[in-house]
Amino acid sequence: MATRFEERRSASRKWRLAVAIGCLFLVGCGRSKSAREEQAYRDAGLTKVAVARVAGVVTVDGGAPAPFTLVMLWDPKKPEGGVFHTICNSDGQFEFTSYRRSDGVPPGQYVVLFAQFNAARRLGDFEPPDMLHNLYNDPDKNAAKSEFQITVSAPGKNDYHFDLSVAGMPPASPGPHSVRELRHAT
């Protein structure tokens, strides 16, 4: 017959074993998810690239937040399809995401573009007109302004601030490279 001491020692061992198994399970699950993600990229023939944080705020006419503004990073080396995009929240704050929330975009040189489109019927699509009157959606025009040229390098930056002047500005005609709508691939 087991003594009380032996029963407590046995219960204590079982408890420690359960805690150890639980910790190993939790640590193992985290690693296996990451391993599964990496395997999914390899299976798809893709490779993860390093990214750097790009986040900040967009205001209009001296300080009013610019909610729901589309912020785009145009890669001049990839004029066709070289646009990363995100949407400002109700406070005008934005953050770019590549793999995990707010992790950023690949390092490089970008021209920053802005637009406020109507939401299209299909979720995630945006269509004209641009409520910013095509003043900031043309990479050729924005590339000529130093405030819209950024160099992204690790670890990145989270305090970008862009103030867009719209009041009293005449609407601009969209240029040949202007972003006039945004459609996700089907």
Q: Which tens digits make up the pLDDT trace of 39-87?
A: 777 777 777 889 999 999 999 998 888 888 999 999 988 866 678 999 9
| Residue that the structure tokens 């990839």 belong to | 78
- pTM to 2 decimal places: 0.73
C-alpha dist (Å) from residue 160 to 19, 83, 97, 141, 157: 45, 18, 15, 20, 7
The per-residue pLDDT of the chain, averaged, comes to 79
Q: Cβ distance 125 to 72 under 8 Å?
A: no
How far, in Å, CA of 177 to CA of 180, rounded? Answer: 9
In our burial notation (b when 16+ CB lie closer than 10 A, e otherwise), range 7-29 reads eeeeeeeeeeeeeeeeeeeeeee
Residue 84 CB coordination number (10 Å): 18
Predicted pLDDT at 160: 97
| Residue that the structure tokens 């993860």 belong to | 48
In 3D space, the residue among 143, 136, 125, 133 whose CA is nearest the CA of residue 181 turns out to be: 125
